[in-house]
Structure 1
């Protein structure tokens, strides 16, 4: 966890330095993945004045912005009726990308779309960039332009293991722990669906990068089992460990599940209203000229 915080901090610091040096943070990407950075300001005094007006995003503001677009990834995937596997893969791509980059360098709206597009290709559920862009009224060329930088940032490692298959497996296994009456079987179905919804939330937390799919699945099932009590979950954990990891004590696994639970409890879903101020700051960081245009518009409105 500390390693991830260090990476977020390093990316934020690099963007701040870019803002100080160049007066802007926007990194443009060509189709071949080559990057175009802002040009060095020749007038140091003018650059200093610009920087005094343009404030970089704080680390917690970047975190909120990422959280907002992680929720948007799920929204877009739901709108296209993509399987949960694609949604989970896109989220992991997005999270891994921003372990290396600041949102001030690459706008999360653009990266979000490219991550969904790349996830569809990786999971063999191909949707064209044109179709994806048209479906949410965005320029498909932005998706294609960012594809190479996303792939490079992922180290071309596109395999993602999500918790949903593990949830399915544990549900099948739980049938041995319940009575075969209709009421219990219906509860098991409800438990299954609830666990998948819990897993959807879990995938938006840092737990998706820190814990194994099996641990994420068990945490989701334990949480769902509180609402639909189908099994004695501690007894079930004992059974799972005795068969798969006999040397591992239950308290150790429980500690991991508790940590995942805590991350889900702390999950924040920012609204568009919450993002208004951060979006404005981001716009000024990436395009300093917009700050001057905004001032001129305000000045004209007063005249």
Structure 2
């Protein structure tokens, strides 16, 4: 069985906030420079070998004279979020499982860590990511030669695992297990919103799932969640205090308000 702890996702695709900003800024600056130099930002992709080439300047183009202004860093961010929402809408329309939706969004996020939306149109990348996630899901395929990894771990599966664990916790006299279905659905809705933020690139799926369950439980009051966290950390022999995890949850939810 695949294990997130030994996965390429944990090794290569969980970042610090400043790393994300540096990558996005570099892609934005590169695209802006290309626009100034060539009058366009669209890259050409060789269909045979997949190589990427920059456009040739138009014969009458004078560097820096393009009447088209490049997108700002903030405008690119808004564009990415818009198309991430479109991924959710497309997946919902086709009644795809949450796993496919999450995988497609993660692919989309990873792609635009390397490229600007000015270089590759997000509408095309969005559809490609949905298609790829449908093909790859449940198939352990590597694409390391593309500087890309296809296997994605999403918070939805972690939610299911925690709900199963919470059922045992409730049956031991710690809450009404009949309401866990309600808690599960509320947590899934919160993860849907998390997927449109930087959170999947900053935190592990388990952290996101626990944060979603914790916040949902704050509203629904199904179990004593702090007590449940204590049982988890004690079983894992973790030195992480409950208070530290609550602080992490607050940081995750700050992303939903930015």
**Shorter-normalised TM-score: what interval?**
0.7 to 0.9
Residue in 1 aligned with 2:43?
27
Matched, 1:64 2:56: no
* Structure of greater relative contact order (alpha carbons < 8 Å, 6+ residues apart): 1
In structure 2, list runs of 5 or more residues that go unmatched: 1-16
Q: For the Cα contact (< 8 Å) 2:106–2:152, is it kept in 1?
A: yes
Q: For the Cα contact (< 8 Å) 2:176–2:223, is it kept in 1?
A: no
- State the Cα RMSD in Å: 2.1
Matched, 1:94 2:108: yes
Following superposition, the deviation at residue 124 of structure 1 comes to 4.3
In the superposition, the TM-score normalised over structure 2's length comes to 0.85
Residue in 1 aligned with 2:55?
38
What is the aligned length? 237
Matches of residues 72-151 of structure 1 in structure 2 within 5 Å?
72-124=86-138
Give the structure with the higher percent helix: 1
- Report runs of 4+ in structure 1 exceeding 6 Å deviation: none
CA spacing shift, 1:73–1:11, aligned 2, 3 Å: same
Residue in 1 aligned with 2:19?
3
Deviation string 1:41-60 (CA, Å, 9 cap, x unpaired) is 44454x543x2x21000000
SS at match of 1:178: helix
Following superposition, the deviation at residue 180 of structure 1 comes to 8.3
In the superposition, the TM-score normalised over structure 1's length comes to 0.73
> Between Structure 1 and Structure 2, whose CA radius of gyration is higher?
1
Deviation string 1:153-190 (CA, Å, 9 cap, x unpaired) is 96241111111111111111112343689x93332110
In structure 1, list runs of 5 or more residues that go unmatched: 126-150, 267-303
Residue in 2 aligned with 1:217?
209
Residue in 2 aligned with 1:144?
none
